[in-house]
Amino acid sequence: MIRYLAAVAAFLGTPALSECRQALALGLDVSGSVDSAEYRLQLGGLAAALQQPKVKQLLLSGLGPAVRLAVFEWSEASHQRMLLDWTEIRSDEQLAGISNLLNSVTRSSAPQGTAVGSAMLFGAELLSQQPECWKQTLDLSGDGKHNIGPHPREVKQALQAGGITINGLVIGPDDANVGDKRDVQISELSAYYNAWVILGPDAFVEVAVGCEAYEDAMARKLIRELEGLVLSDAGPHTRP
Q: Domain 2-14+21-227 in CATH: superfamily? A: von Willebrand factor, type A domain (3.40.50.410)
pLDDT confidence of residue 180: 66
Q: What is the mean pLDDT of each run of 10 residues along the chain (240 residues)?
A: 40 54 96 88 96 96 85 94 97 96 91 94 98 96 94 97 96 69 88 97 93 93 85 43
Q: What does the DSSP assignment read for the chain?
A: -HHHHHHHHHHH-----S-EEEEEEEEEE-STTS-HHHHHHHHHHHHHHTTSHHHHHHHT--SSSPEEEEEEEE-STT-EEEEEEEEE---HHHHHHHHHHHHHPPPPP--S---HHHHHHHHHHHHTT-TTEEEEEEEEEESS---SSS-HHHHHHHHGGG--EEEEEEE--S-GGGTHHHHHHHHHHHHHHHHHT-BSTT--EEEESSGGGHHHHHHHHHHHHHHTT--S--S-----
pLDDT confidence of residue 230: 56
pLDDT confidence of residue 63: 63
Q: Are strands 133-142 and 67-74 parallel, antiparallel or unpaired?
A: unpaired
pLDDT confidence of residue 62: 67
